[in-house]
């Protein structure tokens, strides 16, 4: 289904007076208001195709109904999100969960909804029914060359699908690791991974990147072959300029200073981009900003400062993507909340008074430095986001329109109460 523009306009009209009062209250104190609004309009976050269905736990999956049954329907759902928030103009595919069998039709369908394709993701953490060798003991790091070759070929095939869709990056996350001490020679595993990635790297088109994601544990619980940003950085450095490190917020041990990691990767030109989510304990796949919005703000503060220092365009210089799929919310509502939380953190980071902060740091004025950051963090920027959406043709309040228009019920009517998203 598609949401007609006039329905959004009608709802906006009803909310406009209330919005204007809130916006005027905040906007009066914002320097460079129009520049900031334009940056917010430009800033889009890619939606992963696997986030449009209800995720599972190790114990079960409870679908909410009306889930997209095909890639086409997933694209329609992203189109709905983008129509509402004008901030989700791309979709990231996971192969083989979503194989674009007719690339030109898929591309045309997406373009009609104002969407394009972000990074394509390979999958060698599961066995597929028709594959010859198992990934039980790893893929790109496997001790058996035949298994590595199969995994390399899969990645090259994913690049091929991506080229057809005009994607520009291959995102690689490996579950390769070991569960018990002694199971694996760690140096050997790393070296085999590097060799495999070198073959994949050689197949990248000139204007492509490969993004190397890391994760400390799960599904393996003793070692992971690309376990942290240092290991990913080592690989991406050895591979070359087209390789960079991808930061997934949930892929850190508790207490890790992610903002510092981000700052240094950005300094080295090695930050590929983000997989946004939130967590309390591990890779929890919770909605961005639901647990620790201050950390998200601190990350964006480093991003804005670091990107400005390198003269990078915020919206397009690195990849911005959500990677979350949990099990109790309506996925579309969850994604609307996620995009909102990311843009709130971004807007707050744009409000940081950088010259004042630099001076406070120079003076070792710790109290003032904290005050400057928290002044920005404690500003309610939601009406700035709403104004940016309004100017871009979206909804003042996407979630309220989504509910008011009973979109989920319409999707259930169209697709069925038992429709379960493909892939996950």
Nearer to Mn ion, 48 or 79 (CB): 48
Using the rule CB under 5 A, is 340 a contact of Mn ion?
no
Site for Mn ion in 357-416 (CB under 5 A): none
Q: How many residues bind Mn ion (CB under 5 A)?
A: 3
Residue 244: φ, ψ to 5°: -140, 170
Using the rule CB under 5 A, is 334 a contact of Mn ion?
no
Minimum Å distance from CB 323 to Mn ion? 4
Using the rule CB under 5 A, is 275 a contact of Mn ion?
yes
Using the rule CB under 5 A, is 118 a contact of Mn ion?
no
Nearer to Mn ion, 225 or 397 (CB): 225
What residues contact residue 255 under an 8 Å CB cut-off, 6+ apart?
none
What residues contact residue 22 under an 8 Å CB cut-off, 6+ apart?
382, 383, 386
Using the rule CB under 5 A, is 86 a contact of Mn ion?
no
Q: How many CB atoms sit inside 10 A of residue 28's CB?
A: 8
Could you tell me the CA-to-CA distances from 19 to 43, 305, 376 in Å, in that order?
A: 21, 30, 21
Nearer to Mn ion, 168 or 275 (CB): 275
Using the rule CB under 5 A, is 302 a contact of Mn ion?
no
Site for Mn ion in 236-255 (CB under 5 A): 248
> Among 118, 302, 323, 387, which residue sits at the site for Mn ion (rule: CB under 5 A)?
323
H helical segments located in 240-330: 258-267, 293-309, 314-317
Q: Which stretch binds Mn ion (CB under 5 A): 1-9, 94-102, 316-324, 327-335?
A: 316-324
H helical segments located in 95-211: 103-112, 145-164, 186-202
**What span, in angstroms and rounded, lies between the C-alpha atoms of 115 and 134?**
35
What residues contact residue 1 under an 8 Å CB cut-off, 6+ apart?
76, 80, 407, 410, 411, 414
Nearer to Mn ion, 98 or 323 (CB): 323
Q: Which stretch binds Mn ion (CB under 5 A): 2-10, 104-112, 272-280, 378-386?
A: 272-280
Using the rule CB under 5 A, is 285 a contact of Mn ion?
no
What residues contact residue 308 under an 8 Å CB cut-off, 6+ apart?
354
Binding site for Mn ion (CB under 5 A): 248, 275, 323
């Amino acid at each position: 289904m598609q949401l007609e523009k006039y329905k959004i306009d009608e709802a906006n009209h009803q909310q406009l007076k209330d919005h204007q009062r809130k916006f005027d209250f905040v906007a009066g104190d914002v320097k460079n208001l129009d520049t900031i609004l334009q940056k917010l309009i430009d800033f889009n976050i890619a939606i992963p195709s696997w986030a449009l269905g209800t995720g599972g736990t190790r114990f079960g999956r409870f679908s909410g109904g009306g889930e997209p049954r095909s890639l086409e329907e997933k694209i329609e759902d992203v189109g709905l999100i983008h129509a509402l928030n004008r901030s989700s103009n791309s979709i990231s595919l996971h192969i083989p969960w979503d194989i674009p069998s007719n690339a030109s039709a898929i591309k045309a369908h997406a373009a009609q909804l104002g969407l394009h394709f972000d990074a394509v993701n390979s999958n060698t953490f599961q066995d597929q029914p028709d594959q010859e060798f198992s990934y039980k003991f790893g893929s790109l790091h496997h001790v058996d060359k035949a298994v590595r070759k199969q995994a390399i070929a899969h990645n090259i095939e994913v690049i091929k699908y991506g080229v057809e869709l005009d994607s520009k990056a291959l995102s690689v996350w490996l579950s390769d690791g070991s569960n018990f001490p002694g199971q694996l020679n760690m140096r050997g595993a790393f070296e085999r991974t590097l060799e495999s990635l070198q073959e994949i790297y050689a197949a990248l088109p000139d204007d492509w990147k490969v993004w190397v994601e890391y994760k400390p544990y799960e599904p393996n619980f003793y070692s992971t072959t690309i376990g942290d940003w240092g290991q990913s950085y080592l690989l991406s450095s050895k591979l070359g300029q087209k390789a960079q490190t991808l930061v997934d917020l949930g892929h850190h041990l508790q207490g890790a200073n992610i903002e510092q990691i981000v700052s240094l990767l950005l300094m080295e030109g090695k930050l590929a981009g983000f997989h946004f989510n939130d967590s309390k304990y591990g890779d929890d796949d919770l909605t961005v900003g639901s647990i620790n919005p201050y950390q998200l703000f601190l990350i964006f503060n480093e991003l804005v400062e670091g990107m400005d220092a390198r003269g990078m365009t915020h919206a397009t210089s690195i990849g911005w993507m959500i990677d979350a799929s949990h099990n109790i919310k309506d996925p579309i509502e969850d994604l609307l909340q996620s995009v909102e939380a990311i843009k709130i953190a971004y807007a707050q980071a744009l409000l940081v008074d950088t010259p004042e902060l630099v001076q406070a740091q120079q003076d070792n004025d710790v109290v003032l430095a904290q005050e400057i950051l928290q002044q920005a963090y404690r500003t309610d920027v939601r009406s700035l986001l709403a104004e940016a959406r309004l100017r871009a043709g979206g909804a003042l309040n996407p979630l309220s329109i989504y509910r008011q228009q009973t979109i989920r019920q319409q999707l259930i009517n169209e697709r069925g109460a038992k429709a379960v998203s493909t892939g996950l």
